[in-house]
Chains A and B, each alone.
Chain A
């Protein structure tokens, strides 16, 4: 996984609340069981008009935001289906960070596992930086835009995983002895779990 340390880019504004994963990648755009080939379907309902012609009104089709690495979104971003394809599509398109007042929990977890930073800022701060060049420093947990610096929260484990680009499974497998010891004790306590 590509580590996330710092990032300077335009924050493409997509400020509607409750942008759901059906909008980010519609079910019909998930054409194979793999994790690639999804960027073309990113935001398909809004990005294309009849005949799959790019919709000039849609933010990512505007020249200044083409290939955007940062999206400034609304509240409860990524709600709906748990499909990780939404994050895979964003990552394949080139997005590394989404800034929003809040995220749906499964979507935020999917972001972390794929090297995308789900960055939470108050709504007025998101609105103030939308459409502008921002600089993000994950180690310092700050976002700078012009003269303003906004601190942002992130859970410690998620921060470490992103900064170091760690594979969570490899990391967890190092705890195999502790997990095995717990399982042996649990097998006696709750035999019905172990089919």
Chain B
């Protein structure tokens, strides 16, 4: 019978089925970070439950670790150092692999897991972090869980789950110049709502998805949690296997029949299908306080919840282009990979951020991204343009109680969430592609990157 890719991976991982009809689904990889990982490991230790296979559990410091140069265990979050030291102690006690603060491979979970080949096509991977769905771009079934579920996966090797529904989101046609995977994700969420994918594994397919490079596929899958999807997945192809070849935890070859079967069969039935014309997508930007509050950059602010309009301080009918901004951020598990930084640097090269910009940051997604960017001189381009260049981490994607932007700032950000206070008290966040962030930082107002020519 024709099956979807998600169903194939699910079926291959069912170890038992419960009386109530849930499956005990084998979990191949668990990834922890210091914000939520220590509590899971400590709770297991307190209950006397060992990690069933420590070699398949990994941890990293990414959420609250300082990203300023010369960092150590100190972090700007009050009390934050305990999360770092306790995660380190718990990881060592449990015998799991830890990418510590000063490790050259340190970085954001969803950036380093693919980089190191920890996530693999056809595998199951969970992490107590909602953006774990990012890793589905490699053809894995990867999803975010809570701390209790992380404990469950580490203590038993499985999770108890009802079979999720499946959704096909097909992007037909080709993207226009200046339009990116970030815009595809925002266009989908704007059209179908922040709850539109609830309970589904979303498979992204279609010519526009196939033509994306692997890093752009990660950007697209990253935002699936903002669509309330359980997970996102993209069928692996030759690009995927070429990208993974030679990475530390990846197998030597991807030519077994197992790999060839990792796709949805012809005629496989999805519970729901959405078809989007990729050629009609424009660069997108959010106007409000949910990722579903997204509009084409040359559109006007629509009506919506009063609370969102009040918080963001933009009235319906306002043209969003030209809205003055105060601060800019390029980073996060959505858009801090080398390709993101290259595209941003091409626009920033030979230009400078507007004098009205109070703070502008570029935070690479991993130590490897940082080294590669520096080898190409991207750091110098950003610094010459007035951006700070940081150590890798989650940084100002969110407000960890430490570093923030000036209270009430209007932020243009390459991140994934524009919630009230997400980047700090009163901060008004507009999420968009790195291209829009650079163009806006240079103009000092929300600006269309298509009008800014890349410098050779």
Contacts and interface: CB of A to CB of B under 8 A. Distances in A.
A76 interface: yes
Contacts of B207: none
B16 interface: yes
Contacts of A85: 36
Interface string A78-105: 0111111101000000000000001111
B420 interface: yes
Contact of B146 (A113, A176, A189): A113
Interface stretch (A53-61, A62-70, A141-149, A165-173): A165-173
Nearest to A84: B146
A32 B82 contact: yes
Interface string A167-195: 01101110110110111001001101111
Interface residues of B, number: 78
B37 to A, nearest CB: 9
A179 B83 contact: no
Contact of B49 (A105, A113, A169): A169
B160 interface: yes
Contact of B56 (A31, A160, A171, A193): A193
A10 to B, nearest CB: 23
Contacts of B86: 33
Nearest to B118: A195
| Chain A, interface residues (CB within 8 Å), range | 35 or more
A179 B193 CA distance: 38
A126 interface: no
A121 interface: no
A45 interface: yes
A140 interface: no
Contacts of B228: 76, 79, 102, 104-105
B401 A27 contact: yes
Contacts of A157: 18, 20-22, 160, 162
B130 A80 contact: yes
Given A18-B290, A28-B400, A183 B157 contact: yes
B326 interface: no
Given A175-B24, A178-B16, A105 B55 contact: no
B129 A82 contact: yes
B419 A80 contact: yes
A79 B146 contact: no
A194 B147 CA distance: 23
Contact of A109 (B56, B145, B307): B145
B156 A172 contact: yes
B20 A109 contact: no
Most A Cβ at <10 Å: residue of B128, B158, B195, B421: B195
Interface of B: 15-16, 18, 20-22, 24, 26, 28, 35-36, 38-39, 42-43, 47, 49, 53, 55-56, 77-79, 82-83, 86-87, 120, 122-123, 128-130, 132, 143-149, 151-152, 155-158, 160, 162, 193-195, 198-199, 225-226, 228-230, 249-251, 258, 289-290, 292, 305, 307, 398-401, 417, 419-422, 425
25 contacts: A22-B419, A22-B421, A23-B419, A26-B399, A26-B401, A27-B77, A27-B401, A30-B35, A33-B38, A35-B39, A81-B398, A82-B144, A84-B36, A102-B228, A105-B198, A105-B199, A106-B225, A113-B148, A169-B47, A172-B152, A176-B156, A178-B15, A179-B15, A183-B157, A193-B120
Given A22-B419, A75-B193, A183-B26, 12 more contacts: A18-B194, A22-B421, A26-B401, A30-B35, A33-B86, A33-B87, A83-B36, A84-B128, A157-B21, A172-B156, A176-B156, A193-B28
